[in-house]
Amino acid sequence: MEGLVLFNKPSGYTSYQVVEFFKKKTNKKVGHGGTLDPLAEGLLIIGIGEYTKELTKFLRESIKEYICIIKLGYISDTYDKEGKIIETNKEIPDFEKIKEILESFKGKILQKPPIYSAIKIKGKPLYKLARKGEKINLKEREVTVYDLEVLDFQRNLLYLRLKVSSGFYVRSFANDLGEKLGCGAYLEKLVRVRINDFDLESALTFEDFEKDFLEFQAKIYGRVQGVGYRYFAEKNAQKLNILGYAKNLKDGTVEIVAQGGEESLQKFIEQLKIGPFLAKVAKIDIMFRKPKDIYLYFEIR
């Protein structure tokens, strides 16, 4: 297996554990395009093999969307429900005041990362330094809140949808919101539902790998049109019992969507790298995702 993988990280797993899962599966270099705390769940982009080089754009320039639950009236040393929690016994403002304060977070803001985070200072993760009781002076960073929507408000639970820039910490946002409201707040639940154009519905799960029926979308660059590339792909797909299609695109590339078992899909990728006799494959973009529509056979479009 190689390429980028859309993966749905369950709550209770670290991003590192997911990376290790793919390392053991592939025996290749593996990385991710933006960590999720163990408490959080949702979309994690994994890079396998040479595709780890593609992860930088998700770490630095992506727009991410979250759904979160923030609990008002309490503070936490980790800014979420997994830390030491203290009830503030302070009155929670009314909904109109909460909406007014939320508006102040829109646009470019300065934010300090949580001290209990994986950010490294002199090669050591912050959370390890924090556990030792070391004093850490973190600088504020500029981040952007593109959109902020209240989904619900029940008693002391605030349900929000956030659309933010890379580097934004929802835990810090929850803590900062609590400070502005004067009643304290921490992050109760977090789900990452989108990174750029990729959404959680397309993400594979551990169960999908157990069933061993996956899908990848590939874009083939180089001399691949007018050389029988689609027919070559169809022939190899039929040999490997792979479903899907091959399609010429207007920009001169070929799009491949393939469904099947992991081993068969990897063998198919190896053939796609070679192509037919007159072809010259310069590059292949590969994204593994959850199959949505199951194809009956492999076709040329």
Among residues 44, 2, 40, which one has the least CA distance to residue 23?
2
- Nearest of 7, 33, 39, 16 to residue 166 by alpha carbon: 33
Q: Which two tokens stand for residue 102?
A: 């939320």
**Catalytic-labelled residue, pool 37, 80, 176, 208:** 37
Reading the block at residue 29, the tokens are 């270099």
Strand partners, 190: 68
Q: Interior CA angle at 1 toward 43 and 276, to 5°?
A: 125
Known catalytic residue at 37: yes
Burial 249-288 (b: 16+ CB within 10 A, else e): eeeebbbbbbbbebebbbbbbebbeebbeebebeebebbb
Residue among 55, 241, 35, 184 at smallest CA distance from 118: 35
Angle, alpha carbons 203-207-208 (nearest 5°) = 55
- Tokens 């899909």, located at residue: 265
Block residue for tokens 């209240």: 150
What tokens were used for 231? Answer: 């027919």
Provide the strand spans (E) within 10-94: 30-32, 41-48, 63-72, 74-76, 85-87
| Residues with active-site annotation | 37
